[in-house]
Every structure is written in C-alpha cells, then in structure tokens.
A and B are shown apart, each in its own frame.
Chain A
Amino acid sequence: MNQFFLHHQHSKELEVFPHILEFAIRKNTTIQLNSLSTTTSDSVRIYYVLEGKFEWLIDDRRSVLYPDDLAVILPGQAFRGEKNFLDIGTLFWIHISAARHEDDKRLVLGTWSGLSKAETRTMGRVLHLNNTPVLVKMKAAHSILQAIQTELFQQQIGYQTRVNQLIDELLVLIARQSTHQNNLQRDFPKVFIKLEEALRKNLAHQWSVEEMAALVGLGTTAFSEKVKKFTGFSPLNYLINIRISEAIKLLRRPDISLTTIALEVGFYSSQHFSTTFKKLTGYTPGEFRKINTSRN
C-alpha cells in the first residue's frame, strides 16, 4: 500500500474539494512520543485500519482497533492515542469538515453533499446516540476509500461529482452500520427500551418518526408497524404518553412553572401542553396540580 498525504491547504488534488481537510494513507513504522495527543475538531474524522493494532481514546472511551476496523470521531469529540502516540501499523483516513450545533448533536455538511438536511441531521443524531466510535469489519468502507483515492488521482470526467457521492455513501454506510452493530435486530423489546431511554433523556427534542426509526435501524413504515404491534400506539402517540407521564411528575412539584414543564417535556407551548393534557386526562395541568398537591 503506497503512502500519500493530501491536505486541503497545500494539495492541488483537493482544490475543488474544500470540505476534504485530509485524505491519506500512512504506514507508521516507529513509535514517536506525543505523536497522537488529544485533539478535538469540528470535522468528522474517519480512520480505517489496514495493518496493525491501534489503542485509542475516543470521546474518553478506550477502543482497540484491528485491521478492517473503522473509527469515526464526530465533531467535538476528543481523540488521542491511549499512550499519546500513534501505534505501529498502516492507516487510511479522511477528515471531512462539518459544522455542529452544540445543543443539538446535529451534523451539518456543506452544499457539496447530496444528502438532505433532514437525513444528515438524523444521521448525526443516530451516530451520537449509538455512541459506537468503532465499527468492526468494515471492508465495504475500504472499497469506498479506495474508489475516492482513484477518482482523486485519475481525475477522469465527472470525478468531482463522484468523489462527493462516495463521501455521502461512506457516511450512510457508517450510520447504518453503527445501528446494526448496536442491535442484531432480533430482540425488539430490548431495542425498544434503549429507544425509550434515549427519548426520555432528551424529551424536549422534537423527535421525528424518521429519527426514532433510524435508531432502531428500520425504515419508518416497518418501524411504525412494529411499535404499534408491540405497544398498541403509533410512535408519536407513544411519545406523547411519555411526555404526559413526565409532565405529571413535574406537576406534583409546585415550584416549576407550567410553561417550563411544557417545554421541558417537549410540547411547543403551554397552550399545546394544556390542550393535549386536558384531552387525555380531563384536567387542565393547573387543575391536576391543584388536586394532587393539596388533598389528603
């Protein structure tokens, strides 16, 4: 495997791809102290192991990578060698620039990407929630990286479009694999409870069915059917269930305002909260609070 190193500031191959910050194959034959100490960046960093064994800390978690394994470091995540140096072996990597919204775990790619905004956002969320920086046996990723390399060096007609398509393809592959690696798609109750925990952890977020389905690794139709069969509710109605249950808990504490409760559990407004709550329980949130904090 021939080494190469392309950098967006000084490689003419990347002139028309400002979003590719680095693209390289490196064969590391000696250990140099502090050759891989902590860095964080706003880019998506993807490493594929060709040879050797790498011991890294990604987002404070220890990961060991073997050949054909892939690591993905999301914007804002810290990354370093476990002993602050780069282990011996050969790596293939690409760094793609991305913007990130701190509060939202949102992934934003530039106009070069053919992925829709909504899909990109869902992928960013799924990658964060799955929290599996290392994907094992990702040979398919190697083929894509090789294809990008060929396109960049041969520059045949249409290569600009092809390179960007291949990056999209790589990202989709990674997002899907991160879900499939997380669940074998056998035990629905187990996967569903993980989803429920994710929803409860961030109830204020306006969850879409697409996002929920992606976390489970199903298409939206199959996901909705499964959820309906398993819970008796559509995914969005199930979510309303959780929102109201949490709201009831907060209503029992007289120190939190109704508007705060509404927003905290994911309603657009206190009006929206009030209507939904009353429809289900017959009480307005205020009435419910009154009978449950004064009686007895």
Chain B
Amino acid sequence: MDCIITIELGTNAVRVFAFDMKGELINSAKGSYPTFHSAPDFSEQDPEQIFITTLYVLKNFVAEKILPEKYHVHSICFVASMHSVLAVDAHGAPLGDLITWADNRGKKEAQELKSTPAGKKMYEATGTPIHPMSPLVKIVWLRKNDRPRFDRTDKFISLKSYIVHQLTGEYCIDFSLASATGLMNIHTLKWEDQALEYAGIKANKLPELASIFVRPGKLRKEYQTSLGLSADTRIIIGSSDGCMATLGAGVWSDDKATITIEDSGAVRVVGSRVLRDERQRFFNYILTEGRYISGGPTNNGGVIFEWFAQQFGEFVNPFDNDHAMENHIREAAKVSAGSEGLLFLPYLLGERAPLWNPNARGSYFGLNIKHERQHFIRATIEGILYEVYSIGKMLDEHRSITGLSVNGSFATIPFCTQLIADIFNKPVSTTKNANSIGLGAFLLTATDIGIYPSLDEAAQSVVFQETFLPRQHDHDVYSKYYEIFERLSVKLEDEFREIATLQQRQKETSSTTEAIQ
C-alpha cells in the first residue's frame, strides 16, 4: 500500500506524519532541537543538528512504523517554519548557525526601513511586513554587522532549502516560503530587484524559485539505503507551516478565517487577491498562483499561558507543567466571563500584528481588592485571546468573516475554543485531524498526485469535528472589556517604549557586571 510522508521542520521540533492515500493518519513521530540565544536578541539553531535529528527521526519512523506495516512510501513532502536564514559557502557548508524567525537582531535596520517610501514599496511588492523576522532585514544586518560572513556567503538559504539540499543535492525554495523572505515579488513571482538591491545581493545569492509542487530531485543513493526508501520515492518541495496550517484547516472560502495558536499564533484568510493595508499590518504570502494567504501573526500565544503556569502554578511533580496548566483551566472556568473586570495585556514578548511594536509589554489592569488568583488565571487566557481577536478584527475590515476554524495546541483546548467563539461572536470549528500542518502537506501532495483536482477541492475534504457556538451574553461582556483592552494597547505606546528602554539598559548593565566578575 502506498503512503505519503510529510516532514514539518518546525520552530522547536521536526514532526513526521504518514498518511494513507485516503488521508487517514497512519502514524507520527517527532524529534526536538534547541534554540540558542548567544545574545539577548539572537535566536539561532544548529543546522547540522536539525539535519541529523530529521534523518534520525525519519529513519526510525520508516523502519519501525512504516515498513513493518507493509507500506510503500510514495512521496515525501516538506513543510518548514518561515523567515529562517542560513548563510552557506560555495561547498554548501553553513557559515554560522541558522537565524530563526524569532531573531530580533535587525530591530534597528527594520525600523529605519519601515517608515521610508522604499520600505512601503517593498512591503507592497513582497507581502512581508518590514520587521526583524524578515530575511531581507536579517541579510541587511549581516551586511552591516558581520561583513566577513556576508562576503564569504555563496547563498542565503532557508532551513528547508538546506535540508532538501542535503538530501537531494539541489537548492530551491518554494513560492510560499520565498514570499515570507521579503525578497520575492508576490505579483510577478520573481526575486524583487528593489529588495535585492537594498539587501546588497544579486539573485544568484538566493536559491532557485519553485512552485510548491516541484520535485527537486531524487534522494541521494546513500540516504535511500540508510532510510530504507526506494529510488522512486518522490520528493516534493512543499510549502510553509503557515500556509499548510491554513490548508489543513479546511478554510478555503472568502468568508472564513483560520486561527492557529501554539506557542505563538496567527489569524489567516485565503483569497485570490492580496489584502492591501496602508499601515502595513498584514502579511500576504502566496501558496500558488492566484491563492494568497493573508493575515497577522502574534508572538504571545500559548507560550504566555505556559509562562504563567510555570511562575504561579502548583507543581506536584517536578516539571509537570501540563498538570499545572490543566488545573489552571479548571480554575479559570470558575470565574465568569470578563474576569470581573481584570484585564491582561499579553505582550510579554513584544508584539507583531496588529501593533507591530517590539517594545510592547505585559500588564494586568483593573485590579481590585476582590480579585483572587483564579481571576488572574482567567484574565491571562482572555488577554491572549483578545490579542488574537484584535488581529481578526483588522481582517474583518477587508472581509466579512462568518465562521472560523481553529488549530494548534492552545486554541484547541475546549475552554479556549469556546472563548474564541464568544469573543469573536462567530461559530468556531475544530478539525478531526489535530495536526493541520501535516494534513495540509498531505493535501498538497495528494493534489499533485491527482487524488484531488485542485487545492480548493482538497481543502474541502477536511472533516470538521465539533462546532462551538458563540454565547451572546458572554460576547456582550467581552466586547465591552475588549474596547478598553484595545485602547490601553495603543495608549500605552510611550510607556511601553520607556520601560523597554529601561529594561534593556538594566540588562546591559547587569551583563557587564557579570562579565567583570
């Protein structure tokens, strides 16, 4: 029997899924890798470690869970997180570590570019907000701050390009990942001259652009042997995690949106045209010609809830954060909607959409003497979801969204899903397959094989499991508090900047004292 394997190179881990040709999940496996922060704004990963982890997981997965079940691997499709940059030399050897999406070293470069007319033009052409996450900004940073590395670089590639190159010997990047680099024109599907010029590179410093259906080549013979895969295994370049989470969520019409909340989160819509925004608040990534995924990302998703549990949760066993979080959900449910007037701004990690303010910070507001521990817990959850709502509201200015589909570990906690329905005042569906990214990659591959005539029809095959309906009374409460939430988020801009500056200064002083000691 044939099966399709999808490989997701995520932020913290590689996840491997196998589906049969009908889209039923056969099995899955994962292997995690760390992120290193050698300086406060740096987020880096070891590309070799990711490669070896991927090989290791895939090898064990195929040997233990696929071949013994008599499956034949028909295709392997790749998905990766966006915005990563790896400099490689002429031999393909990495120059330094991989710079991930979360890396903020290009803060200054992004700020300088964003307010200029050129920056605005580049945003319109490439669809990628001018932000330190953007590979464009990262390359500019390298040119200005790490000239030796910049000069030795033969190519600036993404993580997926690196892994696929290792396995097949070919360099390429698919349109969706490329449209998140800030360097590709999403209208012409070519590298954008103005952005290249600003980055200070020529197009030959970047991998070949390719459709998401392209097959970059066969697995190298040695990997066929070590992985136990045949020479006819088709390798499909695939897409980005954001695009695949949307495809796998089955949301494919103008009046629907997808909410994904894991550690971070995003609200996304699909359309045949890009969403134009004067204030540069959206991303517009391309999946295939005429299919754009637009939306806004948040830094502060489930990671904030986890942070709260780590600080204030009750731990019966060491490191048992899951237990602490489950208890928190139970306690939050005891408090009524709106947490009796306790509001939480969740911007602990600065914020992307809709504020696009790296200096934004967290805050509890409205605290009175009657508030107890459980109010804090509920307010924390509500604050995270208000932020997601603020992205949804901004999208609603361009579309009239009538229904939502959710995925990601935080958004699919039933308590949270219900709150999303209440806050948005829209029905929210969950899908049967918990991992939408893997399912999205399966649908992409199945479309390529001809199981579905188009991605649109593939998306419609997604089975919804449960629909949460909004509760009017709670919605009315939330919308009143949300108004204050929104006003505070804007009003505090000056104070955010001042406190962030002080925090930065203190961090610098304390790290110098440490260095002296």
Q: A222-B318, A226-B319, A280-B56 are in contact. Are A295 and B222 (CB under 8 A)?
A: no
> B368 interface residue, CB < 8 Å from A?
no
Question: Interface readout for A240-255 with B: 1 if CB under 8 Å, 0 if not?
Answer: 0110111011001000
The distance in angstroms between the C-alpha atoms of A287 and B30, with both chains bound, is 28
Q: Which residues of A contact B321 (CB under 8 A)?
A: 186-188
Which range holds the interface residue count of chain A?
A: 35 or more
Binds A, one of B85-93, B385-393, B396-404, B420-428: B85-93
The distance in angstroms between the C-alpha atoms of A296 and B91, with both chains bound, is 6
> B517 interface residue, CB < 8 Å from A?
yes
Which range holds the interface residue count of chain B?
A: 35 or more
Interface contacts (Cβ under 8 Å), in number, total: 96
Q: Which residues of B contact A196 (CB under 8 A)?
A: 34
The distance in angstroms between the C-alpha atoms of A106 and B473, with both chains bound, is 66
The distance in angstroms between the C-alpha atoms of A278 and B313, with both chains bound, is 46
Q: Which residues of A contact B315 (CB under 8 A)?
A: 185-186
A252 contacts B91, C-beta separation under 8 Å: yes
> A4 interface residue, CB < 8 Å from B?
no
The distance in angstroms between the C-alpha atoms of A134 and B49, with both chains bound, is 35
Q: A231-B31, A281-B226 are in contact. Are A249 and B48 (CB under 8 A)?
A: yes
Q: Which residues of B contact A188 (CB under 8 A)?
A: 319, 321
The distance in angstroms between the C-alpha atoms of A241 and B48, with both chains bound, is 9
Q: Among residues 173 to 226 in chain B, which have CB atoms less than 8 Å away from a CB atom of chain A?
A: 220-226
B34 contacts A295, C-beta separation under 8 Å: no
> B435 interface residue, CB < 8 Å from A?
no
A245 contacts B48, C-beta separation under 8 Å: yes
> A13 interface residue, CB < 8 Å from B?
no
CB nearest neighbor in A for B14: A232
> A14 interface residue, CB < 8 Å from B?
no
Contact of A282 among B29, B53, B222 (CB under 8 A): B222
**Cβ distance B453 to chain A, nearest Cβ, rounded Å:** 36
Q: Among residues 159 to 207 in chain A, which have CB atoms less than 8 Å away from a CB atom of chain B?
A: 185-189, 191-193, 196
> Which of A62, A244, A281 is most buried by chain B, counting CB atoms within 10 A of its CB?
A281
A237 contacts B56, C-beta separation under 8 Å: yes
Q: Which residues of A contact B433 (CB under 8 A)?
A: none
> B52 interface residue, CB < 8 Å from A?
yes
The distance in angstroms between the C-alpha atoms of A226 and B320, with both chains bound, is 10
> Which of A218, A237, A249 is most buried by chain B, counting CB atoms within 10 A of its CB?
A249
> B469 interface residue, CB < 8 Å from A?
no
> B20 interface residue, CB < 8 Å from A?
no
B91 contacts A295, C-beta separation under 8 Å: yes
> A233 interface residue, CB < 8 Å from B?
yes
Q: Which residues of A contact B31 (CB under 8 A)?
A: 231-233, 241
Q: A185-B319, A292-B91 are in contact. Are A232 and B49 (CB under 8 A)?
A: no
> A119 interface residue, CB < 8 Å from B?
no
The distance in angstroms between the C-alpha atoms of A188 and B226, with both chains bound, is 33
Q: Which residues of B contact A249 (CB under 8 A)?
A: 48
CB nearest neighbor in A for B322: A229
The distance in angstroms between the C-alpha atoms of A280 and B315, with both chains bound, is 39
Contact of B517 among A60, A185, A191, A217 (CB under 8 A): A60
> A10 interface residue, CB < 8 Å from B?
no
A296 contacts B222, C-beta separation under 8 Å: no
A241 contacts B91, C-beta separation under 8 Å: no
A187 contacts B310, C-beta separation under 8 Å: yes
Q: Which residues of B contact A217 (CB under 8 A)?
A: 318
Q: A60-B517, A61-B517, A296-B92 are in contact. Are A281 and B318 (CB under 8 A)?
A: no
The distance in angstroms between the C-alpha atoms of A294 and B315, with both chains bound, is 54
> A230 interface residue, CB < 8 Å from B?
yes
The distance in angstroms between the C-alpha atoms of A61 and B514, with both chains bound, is 9
The distance in angstroms between the C-alpha atoms of A21 and B505, with both chains bound, is 47
Q: Which residues of B contact A241 (CB under 8 A)?
A: 31, 49, 52-53, 56
Q: A62-B517, A245-B48, A248-B48 are in contact. Are A279 and B226 (CB under 8 A)?
A: yes
The distance in angstroms between the C-alpha atoms of A50 and B223, with both chains bound, is 65
> A283 interface residue, CB < 8 Å from B?
yes
A232 contacts B30, C-beta separation under 8 Å: yes
The distance in angstroms between the C-alpha atoms of A279 and B225, with both chains bound, is 10
CB nearest neighbor in B for A232: B31
Q: Which residues of A contact B32 (CB under 8 A)?
A: 230-232
> B497 interface residue, CB < 8 Å from A?
no
**Cβ distance B149 to chain A, nearest Cβ, rounded Å:** 15
B13 contacts A292, C-beta separation under 8 Å: no
CB nearest neighbor in A for B315: A186
Q: A186-B310, A287-B222 are in contact. Are A245 and B46 (CB under 8 A)?
A: yes
A-B contact pairs, 6 of them (CB 8 A): A237-B56, A280-B52, A282-B220, A282-B225, A287-B222, A295-B91
Residues of A within 8 A of B (CB): 60-62, 185-189, 191-193, 196, 217-218, 222, 226, 230-233, 237, 241-242, 244-246, 248-249, 252, 278-283, 287, 292-296
For the complex of A and B, the 4 pairs showing the least CB-CB separation, nearest first, are A282-B222, A282-B226, A185-B318, A245-B49
Can you name 7 extra interface pairs (CB under 8 A) apart from A245-B49, A282-B225? A187-B310, A188-B319, A241-B53, A242-B49, A249-B48, A283-B222, A292-B91
